């Protein structure tokens, strides 16, 4: 019997595909809007929320979704109004969420295996209902990007400019944050709370190095996301190591290669030279 005939492997392959597409599409927003700090806070908040659910006995995914949106609702406006620098938000919320996560884990009675699964992620134990949830989220993410592409394009380019031409850029931003929360929640069990943000950021950051077209950035990011998921899954299966870690390491290697071979590095060098010349005038 081929390994692909087992349902757990079919689920894992589908999860890697859907999670790769959803996470890396969200990642394009994170990269273009320069808001990794919000993403980091949201993903760790989701982890803490899921553990809260496990501890108090309600669905961990509901806890993850609510707490990640709560983190976005707190950090987003504070950073937006300039009351808190992005670095400070990350410092405070990130450590608070990790602290809460470990607190909930400590308070949890009995075995901690469920909690550890949320920490490291386990794509090979995903059920069909996990896959269905992820499929719904992935279709929602891709569908909304296609339908509202021009509004999204304007908002991620420059939010104030988008507002000034009559685009509801604030609603678009909140929509993006909502989708980020939904994607993190749906992928949490597969990749793990600590590592999930890398799957969001790395494929999109790699795509950003390679093209000056926003459409291609989305497509390349999705491709890199799926590739990271499938390659990570393969390594996880072959070497019997945690899948979250192999997925994240693969996505990091893809980013590294994209950064090394990026045609945009020439621009950076050209700018550095121009600045140096101006400085020596």
Partner 1 sequence: MSEAVIDIKNAVVSYREDVALRGVSLKVKVGEFVGVIGANGAGKTTLLTVVNGLGKLLSGQVKVLGHQLSPGNGHSLRKKVGYVAQVQNIDPRMPMNVREVVMIGRYGLLGLMVRPKKHDWEVVDEMLELVGMSHLARRPIGHLSGGEQQRVAIARCLAQEPAIFLLDEPTASLDWKAQADILELVRAIHETRSLTTLFVTHDLSCLPVACGRVVLMKEGRIWGEGAPGELLTEENLGRLYDMPVSEVKKRRTQNILA
User: Tokens 């590592």 label which residue?
Assistant: 195
Our finding on whether 216 is near partner 1 (CB under 8 A) is: yes
CB 217 to partner 1: min, Å: 5
User: Rounded CA gap, 180 and 120, in Å?
Assistant: 20
Our finding on whether 248 is near partner 1 (CB under 8 A) is: no
CB 137 to partner 1: min, Å: 21
Question: Of 83 and 87, which has the nearer Cβ to partner 1?
Answer: 83
Tell me the three state secondary structure of residue 76.
helix
135-154 mask for partner 1 (x: CB under 8 A)?
A: ------------xx-xx-xx
Range list of β-strands (E), the chain: none
Return the C-alpha torsion angle 196, 200, 201, 205, nearest 10. Answer: 150
User: Rounded CA gap, 60 and 50, in Å?
Assistant: 4
Under the phi-then-psi rule, with left for phi > 0, alpha for psi from -120 to 50, and beta for the rest, what region is 92? alpha
Which residue stretch of 48-56, 59-67, 189-197, 209-217 sits at the interface with partner 1 (rule: CB under 8 A)? 209-217
Our finding on whether 161 is near partner 1 (CB under 8 A) is: yes
Q: What is the number of other CB atoms lying within 10 angstroms of the CB of residue 260?
A: 9
Question: Of 125 and 262, which has the nearer Cβ to partner 1?
Answer: 262
CB 267 to partner 1: min, Å: 5
Structure tokens at 125: 């134990």
Our finding on whether 160 is near partner 1 (CB under 8 A) is: yes
User: Rounded CA gap, 142 and 25, in Å?
Assistant: 8
Question: Of 59 and 170, which has the nearer Cβ to partner 1?
Answer: 170
Our finding on whether 32 is near partner 1 (CB under 8 A) is: yes
Positions in the binding site for partner 1 (CB under 8 A): 32, 34, 147-148, 150-151, 153-154, 157-158, 160-168, 208-209, 211-214, 216-217, 264, 267-268, 271
């Amino acid at each position: 019997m081929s390994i692909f005939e087992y349902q757990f492997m079919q689920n894992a392959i589908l999860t890697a595909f859907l999670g790769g597409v959803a996470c890396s599409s969200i990642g394009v927003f994170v990269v273009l809007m320069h808001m990794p700090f919000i993403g980091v806070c949201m993903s760790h908040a989701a982890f803490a929320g899921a553990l809260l659910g496990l501890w108090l006995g309600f669905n961990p995914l509901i806890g993850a979704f609510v707490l990640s949106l709560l983190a976005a609702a707190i950090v987003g406006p504070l950073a937006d109004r300039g009351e808190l620098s992005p670095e400070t938000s990350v410092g405070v919320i990130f450590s608070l969420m990790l602290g809460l996560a470990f607190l909930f884990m400590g308070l949890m009675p009995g075995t901690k295996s469920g909690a550890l699964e949320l920490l490291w992620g386990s794509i090979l134990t995903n059920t069909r209902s996990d896959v269905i949830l992820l499929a719904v989220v992935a279709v929602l993410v891709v569908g909304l990007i296609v339908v509202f592409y021009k509004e999204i394009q304007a908002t991620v380019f420059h939010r104030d400019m988008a507002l000034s031409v009559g685009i509801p850029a604030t609603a678009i931003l909140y929509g993006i944050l909502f989708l980020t929360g939904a994607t993190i929640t749906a992928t949490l069990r597969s990749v793990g709370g600590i590592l999930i943000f890398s799957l969001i950021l790395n494929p999109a950051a790699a795509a950003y190095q390679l093209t000056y077209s926003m459409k291609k950035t989305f497509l390349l990011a999705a491709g890199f996301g799926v590739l990271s998921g499938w390659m990570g899954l393969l390594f996880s299966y072959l070497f019997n190591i945690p899948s979250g870690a192999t997925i994240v390491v693969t996505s990091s290697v893809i980013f590294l290669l994209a950064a090394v071979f990026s045609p945009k590095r020439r621009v950076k060098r050209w700018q550095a030279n121009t600045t140096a010349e101006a400085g020596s005038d």
